[in-house]
Amino acid sequence: KQEVTQIPAALSVPEGENLVLNCSFTDSAIYNLQWFRQDPGKGLTSLLLIQSSQREQTSGRLNASLDKSSGRSTLYIAASQPGDSATYLCALTGGSARQLTFGSGTQLTVLP
Amino acid sequence: KAGVTQTPRYLIKTRGQQVTLSCSPISGHRSVSWYQQTPGQGLQFLFEYFSETQRNKGNFPGRFSGRQFSNSRSEMNVSTLELGDSALYLCASSYQVDQETQYFGPGTRLLVL
């Protein structure tokens, strides 16, 4: 059974800092990995999707990487802003399961 | 394009009642999935529909059911509500089931008293 872990559970940084969020998974047979952000009490906003054949994806200040062999993905946020404060979730589809398996998320707070 | 919409946004029910939640996917999307989010268990997959057929089902009791209509709109039903069913219920849509970004709605927050 696929397990997805996100460490740390919470992170607080000053505005302007570059930061990395981590996601690890136990089964490397994945179709894709997706990073989401969730604001309190709201739904999920898709940030980046990495196909299993890709190593990274970039969108603006965000860069996500995927290393299937080590079972890891990272989300890099450059020049963080208070508006980046949210919970960041990674999720993947893999093997025989078409559904998204989620990590428990990292709650990010960017201090002004 | 309009995003995924879910109705109602908030619901309060009592134990033993039943509830029906609705999800309208992004226009042209044929796959709809449902997830339950609770503080203790996080996000858990309920089921997925594609072209009116249930393709996949998570590990939830039979009290949880769903369906999809020919216009891709989907409903989920929870019968005999329990306190533990209190959660944020999210639906997600995509054009196909694999290799596709899934887009989530704002969710329906259900409180069972």
Contact B98 A93 (CB under 8 A): yes
Q: In this complex, do B104 and A91 lie within 8 Å of one another by their Cβ atoms?
A: no
> What does the alpha-carbon distance between residue B113 and residue B97 come to, in Å, rounded to a whole number?
35
SS3 B87: strand
Give yes or no for residue B32 having a pLDDT over 70.
Answer: yes
The C-alpha torsion from B90 through A38 and B43 to A96, rounded to 10°, is 90
* B45/A99 Cβ within 8 A: yes
Contacting A with CB below 8 Å, chain B residues are 4, 33, 35, 42-45, 48, 55-56, 58, 88, 90, 92, 97-107, 109
What six digits make up the tokens of B6? 């879910």
For residue B42, which residues of chain A lie inside 8 Å, CB to CB?
102-105
Task: Please name the residue of chain B whose CA is at the shortest distance from the CA of residue A53.
Answer: B99
Instruction: Report yes or no: B34 and B66 within 8 Å, Cβ to Cβ.
Output: yes
pLDDT band at residue A96 under the 50/70/90 scheme: low
Q: Which of A40-49, A75-84, A87-96, B39-48 has the highest mean pLDDT?
A: A75-84
Residue A12: per-residue pLDDT: 97
Task: Tell how strand B19-24 and strand B5-7 pair up.
Answer: antiparallel
Where b means 16+ CB within 10 Å and e means fewer, A73-92 reads bbbebeebeeebbbbbbbbb
Contact (Cβ atoms closer than 8 angstroms) between residue A30 and residue A94: yes
Q: Which positions in chain A touch B44 (Cβ < 8 Å)?
A: 102
CB A42 to CB B106 under 8 A? yes
Structure tokens at B64: 């949880």
Q: Average pLDDT for residues B36-62, to the nearest whole number?
A: 93
Note the pLDDT of residue B93. Answer: 93
